[in-house]
Structure 1
């Protein structure tokens, strides 16, 4: 008599924002590679914007089926930490290649970039050199950006302006509102409108032009580098305390910061890697800001609602 042992293949559930999920879906070998070497299944759950991921997790609490969340950023780290739902890892984060030292072992960076405005070089001759020129110029520049209440990119602009103008940010927002065509829910929608010629400037990242550079024979979009400096975004991955697949979660996080996955990010996600790898040649054509900054994370959380309310009140016409 023969007995056959039936092995249950573990499923790792990962909450992720939709635009990143579409990038992974278009490159299935990333998913299948991890599944093959770890004898498991990856289940990616797309959840709109990155802020939606945390909102869903807070609502589900300890009953969440997620093992990992992927797509939080440095500007929501304090909010995420306060949920007490995440587990510290044993990854040596200080070895990661970032513009500054990272010392948080719970929220692990996997990519980073700089917020910037991009423009169509065939449409726009003169470009602003700093925020003051953007706000005060008589040039009728049309702007599209994302809603800071639900979009991490939009919230990044809010922090960027707050860092430069401080208590006078409401004045800056009133001037921006006069040049704003529309405020979208997410980056994907705003990029589609921009590519159709609906605006002169789009809130995006310095690296966003990489896709256009590599897929077209000529340069169509340019990056505006401001003398004021640029706000930095760091994208993060973290595992849940209540996960039943903690060892597998650790393996996936290590996979995400491995050369294999990091190379994929530079060619598809268009953000900078967090380890030392050879960048695609197109990155030599992407300008990088000489000055960058960010707020302390607890300071962001103490002021989040106040700043959002100030933005909302300032854009009402």
Structure 2
């Protein structure tokens, strides 16, 4: 009898587990790291969704799109979180995304560049080169000065990394037809090109380069989490923006949960953890404001951003220039 009771209990527990819906969210590696937003977001969403939220890491942001293209309609993802406005035109062309149906007032510069029925922003920031003020007390003050200097840098591959693509478009936006010449100047500054942000930043912290392509907000991590103010973002005349977005797949087996997650994404429970876990600006101001030690955004006149439908042509030309310059 006891054995039968135990067997029945196991059956009921298994049945309950089977009935718990699973929401699968593809994202990038750093989002789901122990120090990233993933653990806090998972716990907070599961409190309100009566579901099992499962994050699947897929490299850097650009790698997400490559994986989706490979999987197509067979993808097990319900939501993709971690593309940016430099990738949304290409993501739209896959035909894999469905409208999110969410209307919200979001605190993001250049609203004309992100309003999209398929993709909803969750954070944003500015690309920048980060350095250690003690090792490099007088950094270059522009992309051109950096190209003319002997300062060593680590950057990310624009074919697999959203920061890498951001730098490609940053150089193109500032220098236009002179972009290839700037890359020729930068080619001897580059120590290595990594697949993603995590590898590049790790090499910088290990002292392998003077500067690393990251964000103006990256030093806030060192100030707040490590009480270290030695890391600084070099401020140039203009910086290229990144607006990170999420979207639900049309093939999702949990469309209502996917919509619930996207709506949750712009609530305070999600947005309040972004500054001190993803180290970016939230798209909805947290109830307590930005934490102490987190710099205010740069002035709007420093913001550069190609509209999503302009990116493919700009990217193709810039990538060809990049490859030519770095192969010489």
**Where on the TM-score scale, by shorter chain, does this alignment land: which range?**
over 0.9
SS in 1 for 2:217: helix
Pick aligned residue for 2:271 from 253, 259, 262: 262
Provide structure 1 residue ranges, at least 5 long, that are not aligned to the other structure. none
In structure 2, C-alpha distance between the alignment counterparts of 1:282 and 1:311, rounded to whole Å: 36
Aligned 8 A contact 2:23 2:53 in 1: yes
SS in 2 for 1:268: coil
- Say whether residues 1:110 and 2:119 are aligned partners: no
Aligned 8 A contact 2:73 2:96 in 1: yes
Q: Deviations over 1:39-83 (max 9, x none)?
A: 111111111111121111112212211100000001001000111
In structure 2, C-alpha distance between the alignment counterparts of 1:169 and 1:310, rounded to whole Å: 7
Q: Deviations over 1:259-316 (max 9, x none)?
A: 11111111110000001221111114x6625511111222211243332122011111
In structure 1, C-alpha distance between the alignment counterparts of 2:35 and 2:92, rounded to whole Å: 27
In structure 1, C-alpha distance between the alignment counterparts of 2:30 and 2:154, rounded to whole Å: 18
Give the TM-score taking structure 1 as reference length. Answer: 0.92
Pick aligned residue for 1:293 from 299, 304, 310: 304
Aligned 8 A contact 1:23 1:268 in 2: no
Going from structure 1 to structure 2, the CA distance change for 1:126 and 1:287 (only over 3 Å counts) comes to farther
**Alpha-carbon deviation of 1:36?**
2.8
Pick aligned residue for 1:271 from 280, 284, 289: 280
Going from structure 1 to structure 2, the CA distance change for 1:218 and 1:40 (only over 3 Å counts) comes to closer
Task: State the match for 1:136 in structure 2.
Answer: 148
- Say whether residues 1:160 and 2:170 are aligned partners: yes
Pick aligned residue for 2:92 from 68, 71, 81: 81
- More deviation in 128-137 or 107-116? 128-137
In structure 2, C-alpha distance between the alignment counterparts of 1:25 and 1:145, rounded to whole Å: 21
Equivalent residues in 2 for 1:15-26 (5 A)? 15-23=26-34
Pick aligned residue for 1:12 from 15, 23, 31: 23
Going from structure 1 to structure 2, the CA distance change for 1:26 and 1:72 (only over 3 Å counts) comes to closer
In structure 2, C-alpha distance between the alignment counterparts of 1:73 and 1:190, rounded to whole Å: 19
Task: State the match for 1:217 in structure 2.
Answer: 227
Give the TM-score taking structure 2 as reference length. Answer: 0.89
In structure 2, C-alpha distance between the alignment counterparts of 1:10 and 1:33, rounded to whole Å: 16
C-alpha RMSD of matched pairs (Å): 1.9
Equivalent residues in 2 for 1:83-102 (5 A)? 83-93=94-104, 95-101=105-111, 102=114
- Say whether residues 1:169 and 2:209 are aligned partners: no
Task: State the match for 1:248 in structure 2.
Answer: 257
SS in 2 for 1:265: coil
Task: State the match for 1:282 in structure 2.
Answer: 293
In structure 2, C-alpha distance between the alignment counterparts of 1:180 and 1:155, rounded to whole Å: 16
SS in 2 for 1:269: coil
Task: State the match for 1:311 in structure 2.
Answer: 322
Task: State the match for 1:66 in structure 2.
Answer: 77
- Say whether residues 1:230 and 2:242 are aligned partners: no
Aligned 8 A contact 2:98 2:248 in 1: yes
Task: State the match for 1:191 in structure 2.
Answer: 201
Paired positions, count: 309
Q: Deviations over 1:165-206 (max 9, x none)?
A: 111111100100111111111111111111111111111000
Aligned 8 A contact 2:24 2:76 in 1: yes
Provide structure 2 residue ranges, at least 5 long, that are not aligned to the other structure. 1-11
In structure 1, C-alpha distance between the alignment counterparts of 2:253 and 2:159, rounded to whole Å: 32
